[in-house]
Amino acid sequence: MKIFATYNIKGGVGKTSTAVNMGYLAARDGYRVLLWDLDPQGAASYLFRIRPRVKGGGKALIKGTRPMDDAIKGTDFDHLDLLPADFTYRNLDLVLDSAKKPARRLASLLAPLRAEYDVIILDCPPSISLLSESVLHAADLLLVPLIPTTLSVRTLDQLTDFISDFSGHRPKILAFFSMIDRRKRLHQEIARDLPRERPEFAATVIPALSVIERMSVERAPVTAFSPRSQAARAYTELWQEAKERAGLSPAPAES
């Protein structure tokens, strides 16, 4: 089992779109996938038409008083399940703070799901917090969407420094440019140059396309409702890179 997390300190950079499409593509490949919508806004849950509610809230899950199994919902797609968001997730930092080894809590909660899933994707809220630290410790690969600006790249540096201080398990990073506007010269330059200089960057970029915004209308991944679109092709290429970077074994359907 490999754990992927979409993470960025900033909001609105395409984390949820990435998580949802990666989840769909992994399931389409034949992997058994669980997507955990950790963002109390519940965008990923909304996109899969699943109500953002967990009985007992985030506290019950983190404390282990409610089995994760009970809260998991099947999406409309084979092999793809979702652990929905809940508004109480906004207080997860407090809950984690009172737990033992809070930074490792998420990893230990996910460990029992190893037998049931091949891929777990954590869709994180935009923040630097105890929750994000716990996510960074649990993940095998961080998918970091970045808007092509100098400030964004600085944020990536901060993240890389922060992870390099971890003792033991450190997640790999796959940064990629998201919401690229082909009309903006700066976007084009940064998206062209940085992947050549920085090994953690993916070759794939995700363009800013209206079809991606339509996901909230269709309430489905763009890779599902418009599989031949430019956006779907970009996400598919990104998934290929993510799989390779994470060292994911072939799915039963592929092997």
Partner 1 sequence: MPDTAAVRQPGAAPLAGVTAWPARRPASPAPRRRAAPRRRAPARPRVQRVPPPEPPGLSLPGDSGFTLQAGPRRAALRRTWLDTFDWRLYRAGLTLEQVTGRGTAELRLTGRDGTLLAAEQLRAPGRRASQTPRWPALIAALPPGLLADELAPVIGVRALLPVARATSVLREQRALNADDKTIARVTADEMTVTPAAPPARPAPPAAAAEAAAPVTLPARLTVIPVRGYQAQAARLESLLAGLPGVLPAGRPALEAALAAAGRRAGDYTGRIDVELTPGMPAAAAIAAVMAALLDTLEANVPGTMRDVDTEFLHDLRVAVRRTRTALKLTGQVLPGGARGEFRPEFKWLGDLTTPTRDLDVYLLGLPGMTAGLVGAEPGDLEPFGEQLARQRARAQRDLVRGLRSARFQRLRRDWRTALTQATAAARRKPTAARLAAGAIADAHQRVLADGMAITPASPATSLHELRKRCKELRYLLEIFASLHPPGTAWRAVKELKSLQDCLGEFQDTDVQRAELRAFATTMMAQRQVPATTLLAMGEIAAGLARRQRQARTQFDALFRDFAAPAGQARFQPLTRPATG
Name the residues that contact partner 1, by CB under 8 A: 32, 48-51, 71-76, 78-79, 81, 116, 219
Q: Cα-atom radius of gyration of the chain, to the nearest Å? A: 17
Please choose, from the candidates 178, 214, 198, the residue with its C-alpha nearest in 3D space to the C-alpha of residue 6: 178
SS3 173: strand
CB of 32 to partner 1, least distance (A): 6
Phi and psi (nearest 5°) for 78? -60, 140
Cβ of 152: how many Cβ atoms within 10 Å?
Answer: 21
CB of 114 to partner 1, least distance (A): 14
CB of 248 to partner 1, least distance (A): 18
CB of 124 to partner 1, least distance (A): 22
Rounded to a whole number, what is the largest CA-CA distance in the chain? 52
Give CA–CA dist 57/53, Å, rounded. Answer: 7
Quick one: 75 or 134, whose CB is closer to partner 1?
75
Unique residue bearing structure tokens 């806004």: 41
CB of 77 to partner 1, least distance (A): 9
Please choose, from the candidates 97, 112, 121, the residue with its C-alpha nearest in 3D space to the C-alpha of residue 174: 121
Quick one: 247 or 252, whose CB is closer to partner 1?
252
CB of 148 to partner 1, least distance (A): 36
DSSP state of 111: G
Question: Cβ contacts of residue 53 below 8 Å, gap of 6+?
Answer: 84, 86
Quick one: 86 or 133, whose CB is closer to partner 1?
86
- Contact indicator for 134, 102 with CB cutoff of 8 Å: yes
Quick one: 167 or 255, whose CB is closer to partner 1?
255
- Contact indicator for 50, 73 with CB cutoff of 8 Å: yes
Quick one: 35 or 190, whose CB is closer to partner 1?
35
Quick one: 50 or 174, whose CB is closer to partner 1?
50
Quick one: 42 or 148, whose CB is closer to partner 1?
42
CB of 69 to partner 1, least distance (A): 8
Q: Where on the phi/psi map is residue 132: left (φ > 0), alpha (ψ -120 to 50), or beta?
A: alpha
